Amino acid sequence: MVDSLEGYIGTSYGLYQTLDGWLTVKNILPDFFVRGFDVAPDGSLACTGVDLVYMEMGYRVSSNQGNSWQKHNNSIMEGHSEIRFFGVDSLFAQERGKYASFSYDGGRTWQIQLLDSGFSSVSDVTIINKSNFLLSVKTFMNRKKNIFKSNDGGKTWRIKEEFDNYGVLEFEAHQNTVYGVGQNGLLVKSSDQGENWIVLPKINDYTLIKLDFIHENYGFVVGGQMSIYPLFGVIYRTVNGGLTWENVSPEGIKTSITGLDMVNENLGYAVDNNGVIYKTTNGGGPAKSDSVPKYGKDGKLWDGTNGGNPTDTTTNPTDTSNNGSASGVSNFINDNLSLEIFPNPTTGKVNIQLVGSAELTNEPVQLVLKDGAGKTVLESTMSSTTKTINLSSYAKGVYYLQLNAENWNTTRKVVRE
């Protein structure tokens, strides 16, 4: 939200804009899969993602509310999930794993720069000021998600914190104070611009996807579950810098909250994985008991009997990860397991990788690939944490890859270009 009326949501169909507080919306960047976007203090817009006409990844930058765009495509078909302004015309964007792109002319030209040879992928970046950048990074060496910091505008990086199991998915900076949230309820805080970090008490073990702080002590975190049953979403509020949290979740959320922006302490908007927008005018309202309504695939309250079989997702209406959902949807399968599919889009080979606890990644997994009409075109099994399939002989278009295991299942969109 730029103010109480103007706001933006990034989706796999484009960047949507409202000028009246979401009473009406307009797609101002059609045919572009928005994987990440940012709004500068002067109102300029920047998006990173996939050009759906040419099936190329690239960047889009606008200085006039999306009426016209600087366009830049390239042939690198991985990464491109984060983009940030760090000056009037200066932009930082994630490329593939260990690289980033910088623009110093408002997106007209871009320079690719090696960040660190040990980086594997970037979960999030935050810009504290023109010199101080923070990255949450997965490394090649140990698969951990570590916090790295740069004090020279992204030229060199130093590790600041290391996490054994789960890492930060998103940062939020307020002057000297920086917060981070992640999988398995991870909450971290720095009071010195990311130099030193503490782990805050957990709210619970839910996946926390986004956060928004009005000032250093008053803020919100959101998340939930969006890939396997039971499905639910949560919003929590703190008034004391993350020491304690109150449940202010709206009633009836049927999948994870994937986006949040508070205009001030009272007015704010959230969006869930189904594209439903929620509004508060009283800061989330009074706190409620810390219990989350869980829903099955028929929309009824989940009680183990009337919500459908939790392992049967053949008609799952909410598992839209990488398929028409609001940007910010992660690659989680559940709080202990994530899925990486790359490159996607692809001209041939697709690598499938499961990352998580051993008991979840060692069990056999059935792979089913369906075309856009729902016809099964490939069936296989995945007996280890990695698998490669070759689509070079298949027609160009959109396919849906289903992964079915004993205790979980999920579906992802794969584009053959």
Assess if residue 293 is contained within a domain: no
Task: Give the model's pLDDT for residue 306.
Answer: 36
24 and 157 co-located in one domain: yes
How much is the pTM? Answer: 0.70
Contact criterion met (CB below 8 Å) for 168 and 147: yes
234 and 353 co-located in one domain: no
Task: Give the model's pLDDT for residue 193.
Answer: 94
What CATH number corresponds to the domain at position 399? Answer: 2.60.40.3080
166 and 275 co-located in one domain: yes
Assess if residue 244 is contained within a domain: yes
136 and 27 co-located in one domain: yes
Number of domains within the chain: 2
- Burial of residue 379, with CB atoms counted within 10 A of its CB: 0-12 exposed, 13-18 middle, 19 or more buried: exposed
Assess if residue 115 is contained within a domain: yes
252 and 390 co-located in one domain: no
Assess if residue 287 is contained within a domain: no
Query: Of 234, 257, 280, which residue sits at a domain end?
Result: 280
265 and 361 co-located in one domain: no
Task: Give the model's pLDDT for residue 327.
Answer: 32
Q: State the Cα–Cα distance between residues 178 and 129, nearest whole angstrom.
A: 12
Half-sphere exposure of 74 (CA within 13 A, CB side): 18
What CATH number corresponds to the domain at position 193? Answer: 2.130.10.10
Structure-token pair, residue 371: 């075309």
75 and 213 co-located in one domain: yes
Assess if residue 321 is contained within a domain: no
Assess if residue 146 is contained within a domain: yes
258 and 404 co-located in one domain: no
254 and 382 co-located in one domain: no
Instruction: Give, in order, the Cα–Cα distances in Å from 7 to each of 42, 143, 343.
Output: 14, 36, 31
User: What residue has token string 């990488």?
Assistant: 322
Assess if residue 305 is contained within a domain: no
Q: Residue 207 sits in which domain range?
A: 7-280
Query: Of 280, 296, 318, which residue sits at a domain end?
Result: 280
Task: Give the model's pLDDT for residue 310.
Answer: 36
Assess if residue 327 is contained within a domain: no
357 and 227 co-located in one domain: no
pLDDT, averaged in runs of 10, over the chain (417 residues):
94 93 94 94 94 90 95 79 91 87 94 86 86 83 76 91 81 91 90 94 88 93 78 90 92 85 94 89 89 54 40 32 34 67 88 70 80 85 86 89 79 86
Query: Of 280, 296, 320, which residue sits at a domain end?
Result: 280
